[in-house]
């Protein structure tokens, strides 16, 4: 099964709905069904001895949710957080994880025929993170493999951050 087939999942029709968001100057997208919610950037509690891109954890309705900065995850220059900064909460291997992005753009419908395979590094981002490129009108959206955002070792670190913990609201 190709990366594009994995991205499209079990879509019975000829399209997939994605949520598009910006990191640096690029527009990215992930399937809407992979997103739990989108929130404004809350206060983050830093964790010691974690990779720099793991910013810490937040309390989300009593659940401890690890937060990763997508600029740092992709090896891009750090950027100050602003009023449009958002956290996209996704489910990775049955654990909620937050991704800090510059802004969330919109929900888009992408036709399968608009998605192309990736054969090389794009905008400095390794193709291991990329399922494909959606060419929509006059723009391109980089479609992410959400399950590849963390290695298994990194996921173990993140999982331990909030394993079984609930916090008081």
> Does a structural domain hold residue 43?
yes
> Does a structural domain hold residue 168?
no
pLDDT higher than 70, residue 95: yes
State the CATH number of the domain containing residue 132: 2.40.50.180
Mind listing the pLDDT tens digit for each residue in 127-145? 778 889 999 888 899 999 8
> Does a structural domain hold residue 60?
yes
Contact indicator for 154, 54 with CB cutoff of 8 Å: yes
Mind listing the pLDDT tens digit for each residue in 18-70? 999 999 989 999 999 999 999 999 999 998 888 889 999 999 999 999 999 99
Report the pLDDT value the prediction gives residue 13, as an integer from 0 to 100.
66
Spacing of C-alpha 85 from chain mean position: 13
CB atoms under 10 Å from CB of 163, counted, come to 10
For the chain, what is the mean pLDDT? 83
State which residues form the domain around 72.
Answer: 3-162
Q: How many structural domains comprise the chain?
A: 1
> Does a structural domain hold residue 169?
no
């Amino acid at each position: 099964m190709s990366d594009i087939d994995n991205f499209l999942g079990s879509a019975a029709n000829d399209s997939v709905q994605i949520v598009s968001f910006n990191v640096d100057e690029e527009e990215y997208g992930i399937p809407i069904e992979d997103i739990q919610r989108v929130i404004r950037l809350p206060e983050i509690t830093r964790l010691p001895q974690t990779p720099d891109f793991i910013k810490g954890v937040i309390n989300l309705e009593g659940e401890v949710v690890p937060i990763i900065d997508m600029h740092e995850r992709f090896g891009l220059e750090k950027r100050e957080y602003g009023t449009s900064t958002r956290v996209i909460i996704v489910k990775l291997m049955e654990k909620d994880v937050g991704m800090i992005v510059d802004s969330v753009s919109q929900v888009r419908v992408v036709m399968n025929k608009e998605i192309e395979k990736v054969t090389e590094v794009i905008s400095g981002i390794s193709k291991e993170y990329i399922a494909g490129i959606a060419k929509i009108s006059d723009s391109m959206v980089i479609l992410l493999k959400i399950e590849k955002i963390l290695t298994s070792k990194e996921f173990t670190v993140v999982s331990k951050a909030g394993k079984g913990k609930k916090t008081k609201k």
